[in-house]
Amino acid sequence: MKKVFSTVFFALAILFCSNASAQISHGGEPLFNQGIQRIKAPIVTLATLDNDKYLQEDLNQVKGASPLRVAIAQQCDIDVLAESKVTKDNNGTHYTLAINSPGATFVSFDFSVFELAEGATLFFYDQSGEFVLGSFNKSDVKDDGTFYTQAIPGSVAYIEYNVPLDTEPGKIILSEVSHGYKNIFQTISNIYDDAESQLKGSHGHAEGDCHINVVCPEGDDWRDQIRSVVAIEIKSSIGSFMCSGALINNTALDRTPYVLSAYHCQDEGEIGTLRGFVSYFLYQTNYCNGASGSGNKSVTGAQIKAKYSYSTGSDFLLLLLDSSVPDNYTPYYAGWDRNNVASPEPGVCIHHPGGDYKKLSFPRTISRLMGSYINFYQVNWYTGTANKGVTEQGSSGSPLFNASKRIIGQLYAGSSACDNMGGADLYGRLYISWTGNNADNNSLRPWLDPENTGVSVLDGLNYTDNTGIDDVQTSRNKSLKVYPNPCKGTVRFDIDAIGDANYKVFDLNGHCVKEGRTILTSTVQGIDLSTLSKGSYILKIYTSANIYSATIVLL
């Protein structure tokens, strides 16, 4: 979502995978996903909800008052094993059950008890049998003993649970079903089209059609950064909502799956009681002008590591995904720049407007605001025939890149729209988010700079791609030629870096005895160490790309 301070209202959407398993799982195929076998499964039918009613409520909603819903949460208490059809054979005991939420365009499941047997496998599939999630096993349970799924297309979804011979089955309690009431799956037609036509644009689910699909030539200079951006489904006690975010790098270069988004995306005053997050990768069209896209891939679950309110801070949210991002998602961990720059050279905004396929929007200007909005950048867009996209609901939390391809902020609020290109948007400044209010849970610094290097810029990092993390870290660490060595105070060196750099000096016991910042130029590269006692030290210089180190002796 994008908070609106003018005329634009929230419009959110759930994402889907039309033809393949998307949620991280352990492989394998369900045993009962055949037409006749699916029909034999008993069906538990939930109460019928009036989709038209909810769509009309959204249309009549005071714009900007609260997030626009895309799903209604139906509470239930279903003992999956007790309600299932039970089949036994030489491979074990098998439980199959169908859940029907009449009229739903999609469903997702929340389990309050998720106690799977050792060696058991769990699958979910839709009524056609073409969409499959799984297998899942006991290792997939969340820390609080729960489990939830991404969206499954259609009103009927099947649960298949397979338990080895002579094994106690455990217990599975389905406590909530999210009932989708927007026709977000392209494979379903002629459902509530009249009301929903007022909520959709010509490209997927975005209201406007001025955004640029990321596969278009305009994205050629941003291919890595595009792969960092994700769509985020926020699950709550009310239903489901949508934001954008980006994988972001840290100075340890260890591919910790941090995702930067917006505080208001998890604000319980906006969405009700927070249940969890699903992050969707590679959700984009197959062709520049296409309306169909590649199947998305998702990671279910995330912890909130830090956040800073929009009322007093910069509206940032830092998530740590519950699972590492698989290499076949081809993730990119975006770089960042935390410098206090008044007018950064514009780069690009990459986002999921309305939960739609991933889009590009190119700012005309970026400027630091003052007064009550000093924690934010203002972005203005091109207008008329020169326009290259804007933002809308669903874009909230999306990264703003500068011309150097580093994140400098995330979307908070705005009035821009394809029919209001002159509207401006606000992005929380990474410069403010870095220290927040100096508490770990309100600042980015302890998470994105765990090595306490003090660097102000960091480049992005690609997924493994046959290169191990140790190799990446080794390639980043460079030897430093220093002279004179031994020296009596000022040590000089030659490196290929120019610009701001941070340095630290360690004694041979590993204690940092001096640190600071220096400006590296083509002619002046040196540090005064005359305040240190005689002895041997290790000097480290940190730039955005490398860490340089050398052993020095002071006389």
Q: What is the CATH number of the domain that holds 382?
A: 2.40.10.120
CA distance 243 to 237: 17
> pLDDT (tens digit, 9 = 90+) per residue, 424-460?
999 999 999 999 999 999 999 999 999 889 999 999 9
pLDDT greater than 80 at residue 187: no
> Per 3-state DSSP, what percentage of the chain is helix, strand, and coil (rounded to 5)?
15, 40, 45
Chain mean pLDDT for the chain: 85
Domain interval for residue 492: 470-554
- CATH code for the domain in which residue 484 is found: 2.60.40.3080
Q: Which residue is it, tokens 């999609």?
A: 106
Look at residues 306, 513, 316, 508 and name the one whose alpha carbon lies nearest to residue 410. 316
Task: With beta carbons less than 8 A apart as the criterion, state whether 143 and 130 touch.
Answer: no
228 lies in the same domain as 352: yes
Look at residues 253, 517, 270, 259 and name the one whose alpha carbon lies nearest to residue 393. 270
Of these residues, 110, 315, 322, 459, which one is catalytic? Answer: 315
Of these residues, 94, 205, 211, 264, which one is catalytic? Answer: 264
DSSP class per residue in 350-390: EE-GGG-S-EEE-EEEEEE--GGGTTEEEEEE--GGG----
In a domain, 455, yes or no: no
Number of domains forming the structure of the chain: 3
In a domain, 18, yes or no: no
At residue 262, the pLDDT reads 94
In a domain, 318, yes or no: yes
CA dihedral 174, 178, 184, 189 (to 10 degrees): 70
396 is catalytic: yes
485 lies in the same domain as 412: no
At residue 14, the pLDDT reads 35
Band (7; pLDDT cuts 50, 70, 90): very low
In a domain, 456, yes or no: no
482 lies in the same domain as 420: no
pLDDT greater than 70 at residue 347: yes
At residue 21, the pLDDT reads 52
At residue 194, the pLDDT reads 47
Average pLDDT rounded to a whole number, residues 22-46: 86
225 lies in the same domain as 144: no
420 lies in the same domain as 491: no
In a domain, 135, yes or no: yes
26 is catalytic: no
264 is catalytic: yes
399 lies in the same domain as 492: no
284 lies in the same domain as 382: yes
pLDDT greater than 70 at residue 205: no
> pLDDT (tens digit, 9 = 90+) per residue, 510-525?
677 887 877 777 655 7
CA distance 544 to 473: 13
Judged by average pLDDT, the poorest of 12-26, 187-201, 205-219 is: 187-201
Which two structure tokens, joined as six digits, stand for 394? Answer: 């669903």
Beta bridge partner(s), residue 276:
235
Of these residues, 244, 396, 398, 443, which one is catalytic? Answer: 396
Instruction: Out of 183, 202, 237, pick the residue that ends a domain.
Output: 183
436 lies in the same domain as 495: no
pLDDT greater than 50 at residue 354: yes
345 lies in the same domain as 230: yes
In a domain, 12, yes or no: no
Which two structure tokens, joined as six digits, stand for 364? Answer: 């005309």
Judged by average pLDDT, the poorest of 39-53, 277-291, 396-410 is: 277-291
